[in-house]
Structure 1
Amino acid sequence: MPLSEEELRLLEQMERALVEEDPKFASTLRGTSLRRTARRRAIAAGVVFVLGMAVLLAGAMTNWIVGIVGFVIMLGSAIIGLNAVRGQQAAAAADAARTSGHPSHGFTVIEGGRRPRGRSLRAPRSSGSFMERMEERWRRRRESGGF
C-alpha cells in the first residue's frame, strides 16, 4: 500500500531533521560508505587476482599443486571482486533513486499477492510423459532409417 501525501511529507521532514542533526549518520544510511567499502574490496580483489595469477604461473613452472593453489586464489578473488562491483552498482543505484527528486526518496512499491491468471512460471507442458516422448523419438528414428 503506497504512502499518502501527508505520510511522505512527514517522512521527508524527518529525513531533513536527521541530516541537520547528524550528517555523518545520515551519510552512512545513504550508502556512501557502502560504495566506498565496495570500491576498496574490488581493488583488493584485483590485486589478489594478480597475485593468484603469479602463483599459478610459478606453479606451472615448478609444482602443479602450487598452480592449483594459484587458480583457487584467482577464482576466489574474482568472485569477491564481482560481488563487490555488484554491491557498488547497487549502492550507486540507491543513491540515484534517493536524489531523484521524487518525494518518496528511493522507496519503491513491491508488488505482492497472487500472480495474475493466465500467466504461469512453468513452460507449457507437452503431451505425454518424458518416457513416452523418448519412445516416440526412437520410433521415428527407426522408421526413417536414421539409425
Structure 2
Amino acid sequence: MQRKISVLVEVDPDGRCVRVSVTGALTRTNQQALHPVLRRARTTLPAARVSVDLTCVHELEPTAVDLLRRAVEHDGTLRGTVEVLAPEAEPAEPAAAALDARRRMRAKILHRRCAGLPVPPPGLELHAAS
C-alpha cells in the first residue's frame, strides 16, 4: 500500500507568510513532492517566509525530515527562507490521544475545504456523514 501525503498551502493576506501544512504519511520517497511546492511558493511570493508544518503528519520517518531539511539547505532559492516545523518527540499516552483527535479534526476540515464545502465554526463536531 502506498502511503500518501496531503498538502494545504495557506498564504497570509499581506503575502509575507506562507504555511505549508502536511498531513498523512511522510516518507523518504514522498517528501520529494514538497520540493516543487516550496519552490513555487518562493517564486510566487519572493519576500514571503515559508514554513512547512509537519506536526500533524500521522506517520513520520525521521529520515524524511532530514532529507527535506537537507534539500532546503542545498537549494539556493529556499535556503534561509524556509522553516521546517517537525514534532520534537512522540508525546506521552494522554497527549498522544489528544494529538490524534486534533489530527483527525484537522484532516476533516482540510477535506471539507478541498471539496469546497463550508467549514463549521470551532466547537461544532464534524460527523462522518458531513
| Same topology, TM > 0.5 | no
Higher helix share: 1
Q: Which has the larger radius of gyration?
A: 1
Q: TM-score with structure 1 length normalisation?
A: 0.27
